[in-house]
Amino acid sequence: METTLVQNLPEVTAAGVIIKAIIILAVISAIAGFGTYIERKVLAFMQRRLGPMHVGPYGLLQLVADGIKLFTKEDIVPQNANSLIFKIAPSITAATAFIALAAVPVFPDFTIPEWIPLLGGVFVPSIAADLNIGILFVLGMMAAGLYGPLLAGMAQANKWGIIGAARTAIQFLSYEVVTGLSILAPIMLVGSLSFVDFNNAQAGGISHWLIWQQPVAFVLFLIAGFAETNRTPFDLLEHEAEIVSGYATEYSGMRWGMFFIGEYANMITISIIAAVVFLGGYSEVGIGWLTIILKVGFFFFLMLWVRAAWPHVRPDQLMWLCWKVLMPIAVINVVITGIVMMV
């Protein structure tokens, strides 16, 4: 099922876009919350444990218990912290993660049934903002998410928080370079920054997927995606194995939780980008949107699998991998792609 261009669809109205934004906020927040339960269960299975089992059947109500704990836990603002920035920083992380999803195809187009009062007949597009620079917008907003942890650490009157913020900035800025260079080669092949164009370019089936033409770019993008979403083996930003918690050291309650809502939302965003750019998107005949859900689910599971199977790396190893291995490979891949296209 080929993605339909905006000009061939029913009129996209402000009401449809607002409804789409609300759906994205509600559904992705719910998935991010449920993702914590899935992660615990997957890790427990791989480590021969049971995971959450006591709250509700099979521990399903653990999500409710966690939510109650986050909302009712005391919201502490340290005495010597910059109060305003300290309070705003977690919102930046969550907001940028959800804003990035505005230009990503999340859920299919649909029209609200006529019998629903007030909203009946409103067309809700698959992409809240169908930008012709969609990939650039998404990567830019994810990069802007750096300011959340950076300001959070700097606002604390805590040297460990500041050190954690500096380490966060270094990791994010370094791996954003790899992310941009890795996705540049597929952009050169398609000649567009629009997710719709990427999807349509692979509409011929599995043989037309860009992963076959750009396997190196795919691997580089996945590695950089792990680093930018703070996932193992690159989870050095807020490291649960350390005595202190990096930039989140002095946070509690829902402000602490917003950092991790943003993390899970970014995991979903990276999964969608990988599925649309490299694995054919949602263009397969007959099953369409089911396929992209399965692809996104696979990438989400892969992030959990790697966490269970791979040890942490040291910060110096992380930087060595980025600047001395991944970035040169990404540059060489772009050069070779350009040469092949010219020949």
How is 282-311 classified by DSSP, letter by letter? T--TTTTHHHHHHHHHHHHHHHHHHHHH--
- CB–CB of 239/246 below 8 Å? yes
Lowest mean pLDDT among 46-55, 136-145, 281-290, 301-310: 281-290
Q: What is the pLDDT of residue 305?
A: 92
The SS3 of residue 126 is coil
Does the structure show a pLDDT above 70 at 241?
no
Q: What is the pLDDT of residue 1?
A: 40
Greatest mean pLDDT among 4-18, 23-37, 185-199 lies in 185-199
Q: What is the pLDDT of residue 284?
A: 53
Q: What is the pLDDT of residue 44?
A: 93
Contacts of residue 123, Cβ cutoff 8 Å, sequence gap at least 6: 9, 10, 11, 12, 13, 16, 109, 110, 111, 112
Percent of the chain with pLDDT over 70: 94
Chain centroid to Cα 125, Å, comes to: 21
Short-list 175, 160, 179, CA closest to 238: 160
Q: Beta partners for 123?
A: 111
- CB–CB of 181/330 below 8 Å? yes
Span 108-167, pLDDT tens digits: 777 888 888 877 788 888 777 777 888 889 988 988 988 999 999 999 888 888 888 888
**Other Cβ atoms closer than 10 A to 79:** 7
Q: What is the pLDDT of residue 26?
A: 85
Helix boundaries (H) for the chain? 14-46, 62-72, 83-100, 134-144, 147-155, 159-190, 195-201, 210-213, 215-228, 253-278, 289-309, 315-320, 327-342
Q: What is the pLDDT of residue 187?
A: 93
Q: Beta partners for 110?
A: 124
The pLDDT of 234-242, averaged and rounded, is 71
What's the CA dihedral at 269, 270, 273, 275 to 10 degrees? -110
Say which residue the tokens 């370079």 belong to.
177
The pLDDT of 262-291, averaged and rounded, is 81
CA 334 to CA 338: how far, in whole Å? 6
Say which residue the tokens 């692979």 belong to.
202
Short-list 143, 134, 21, 167, CA closest to 92: 143
Does this model's pTM top 0.95? My answer is no
How far, in Å, are 2, 59, 60, 251, 260 from residue 55 at the CA level? Answer: 44, 5, 7, 26, 22
Q: Which helix (H) or strand (E) holds 110?
A: strand 110-111
- CB–CB of 210/189 below 8 Å? yes
Span 292-328, pLDDT tens digits: 888 888 999 999 999 888 888 888 898 999 999 999 9
Span 59-92, pLDDT tens digits: 889 888 988 988 898 888 888 889 999 999 999 9
pLDDT band at residue 2 using 50, 70 and 90 as cut-offs? very low
Which amino acid would we find at residue 341? M
Q: Which tokens sit at 121?
A: 């007949």
How far, in Å, are 13, 22, 110, 216 from residue 122 at the CA level? Answer: 8, 14, 9, 42
∠310-166-267 over CA atoms, to 5°? 45
Span 164-208, pLDDT tens digits: 888 888 989 899 999 999 999 999 999 988 888 888 888 878 888
CA 167 to CA 247: how far, in whole Å? 9
The SS3 of residue 56 is coil
Q: What is the pLDDT of residue 6?
A: 45
How far, in Å, are 4, 6, 85 from residue 135 at the CA level? Answer: 18, 17, 29
Q: What is the pLDDT of residue 76?
A: 86
Q: What is the pLDDT of residue 14?
A: 80
